[in-house]
Amino acid sequence: MASLQPVRGMHDLLPLEFQKHSLIIEAARQLAATYGFAEMATPLMEFKEVFKRTLGDVSDIVSKEMYEIADRGGEDIVLRPEGTAGVARAIISEGLTQSMPLKFFYAGPMFRYERPQKGRLRQLHQIGVELFGVVDPLGDVEVISLAFDTLKALGLTHRVTLEINTLGDDESRKQYRNQLVTYLKDHHHKLSSDSQARLDRNPLRILDTKDEGDKKILEGAPLLSESLNPASQEVFAKIQEGLTLLNIPFKVNPHLVRGLDYYCHIAFEVTTTDLGSQGTVLAGGRYDGLMATMGGPSIPGVGWAGGIDRLAMMLHEDQLPAPKSPLAIIPMEERFDFQGLELAQRLREQGFVVEMTYGGGLGKRLKKANKMKARYALILGEEEVASHKVTCKDLESGDQIQLAVDQLGAFLRDKKPEGGE
């Protein structure tokens, strides 16, 4: 029945998948904290205007990927497709513009109406950072270094490539745009229809084309790097120097661009060949014009967003922490249930993982204890309860020993260090 399926492109995160997501978020969260980035969250919904202003009407996201919600009050609301615009909106609406710099980390779901395929979901999940209020290219280096550290913590650096490029400052970009448009107009009839449409509205985006014919034409196009004024060259050089100093390997890809006017200087992507055509796992850049585009003061910004779903596809199960083996509580009769419940609580307070076995006699419950991969079963019968003791059965060796409840914690910790704190 169709209605019992999840919505197309939206997936359940069952425990194994959820653990991978958690591992990624936790690695990024901890590292972000070491750089002084504070975690924040914006609502899952925003006014459509927030994204229209920042991403622009012609962006893929605004023109065709937005989830629009029919709000009962008639407001134009959308499910957020990305994180930066909401953070910028929050900085303005929360009145944070006086206290620069601002350093934020976030993690959460985003929604885009895309054609679902491997690595391309309609509910996707991102981690991301934003650094506002810093023009110094050292800020760019730190932001990229944080991305790299996160990939390192996940053991992925040898499977990915960091590509960087510069869009230069406004002057360099304007000059380049004119050169590019002049060149592409000569090849107008051979361009894909998408690129033809972009030629007037968003010519830099054409550099980012996936169309093979367009790519051929672009091979002969002038390069942005040749239009950079000295100031822009200096900025890019400092970033490269910083990355080299920190032993962060990178490749300069002169075709890497961001199509919107508020992007400048650094643009970067982390890609992998392990995931087929959905190979970009993280992307970022500098957006000095974004806050002004939103209607706020002119505050520079740089940041990135990483795709958790794609990163999770790169993780192996053996990278996940092994689950702690539980202690299984077995009351021999119903009248000892509450003693079992109390014992479980007491041991959990000491940091042990404890599970109750429900239903059946001793044999059945021992089977359940084995199934939950318990190392010890803690059995409570008449004799044990009367003498404040517990029978502790080693499920590997079959040995059993009676212990006073008070000594149980110490005994189990001693036997099995990973069982308790």
End-to-end CA distance of the chain: 47
Q: Name every residue whose Cβ is closer than 8 Å to that of residue 308 and which is 6 or more positions away in sequence.
A: 21, 24, 25, 107, 124, 125, 126, 127
Nearer to ligand ATP, 282 or 354 (CB): 282
The least distance separating ligand ATP from the CB of residue 139, rounded to whole angstroms, comes to: 19
Among 100-108, 112-120, 235-243, 357-365, which window interacts with ligand ATP (CB under 6 A)? Answer: 112-120
Helix axes 48-55, 84-93, angle to 10 degrees: 110
The least distance separating ligand ATP from the CB of residue 228, rounded to whole angstroms, comes to: 23
**Binding residue for ligand ATP (CB under 6 A) from 121, 264, 332, 380?**
121
Q: Name every residue whose Cβ is closer than 8 Å to that of residue 166 and which is 6 or more positions away in sequence.
A: 224, 225, 228, 232, 235, 236, 239, 265, 266, 267
Torsion of CA 207, 266, 52, 110, to 10 degrees: 100
User: Residue 405 interacts with ligand ATP (CB under 6 A)?
Assistant: no
**Binding residue for ligand ATP (CB under 6 A) from 281, 347, 366, 378?**
281
The least distance separating ligand ATP from the CB of residue 62, rounded to whole angstroms, comes to: 12
User: Residue 259 interacts with ligand ATP (CB under 6 A)?
Assistant: no
**Binding residue for ligand ATP (CB under 6 A) from 85, 305, 313, 330?**
305
Pairwise CA distance, residues 104 & 252, whole Å: 27
Site residues (CB under 6 A) for ligand ATP, limited to 307-326: 307, 309-310
Identify the residue whose tokens are 């996936």.
Answer: 210
Tell me which residue of 237, 262, 264, 263 sits closest to 252, measured CA to CA.
Answer: 237
User: Residue 124 interacts with ligand ATP (CB under 6 A)?
Assistant: yes
**Binding residue for ligand ATP (CB under 6 A) from 62, 164, 266, 283?**
283
Binding mask 63-102 for ligand ATP (x = CB under 6 A): -------------------x--------------------
Identify the residue whose tokens are 């910083």.
Answer: 242
User: Residue 112 interacts with ligand ATP (CB under 6 A)?
Assistant: yes
Identify the residue whose tokens are 């830099």.
Answer: 204
Among 170-178, 196-204, 280-288, 324-332, which window interacts with ligand ATP (CB under 6 A)? Answer: 280-288
Helix axes 170-186, 193-201, angle to 10 degrees: 140
* Helix intervals (H) in 350-419: 362-371, 382-386, 405-415
What is the greatest pairwise CA distance in the chain? 95
Nearer to ligand ATP, 310 or 368 (CB): 310
Among 228-236, 259-267, 277-285, 367-375, which window interacts with ligand ATP (CB under 6 A)? Answer: 277-285
Q: Which residues bind ligand ATP (CB under 6 A)?
A: 82, 112, 114, 119-121, 124, 126, 278, 280-283, 305, 307, 309-310
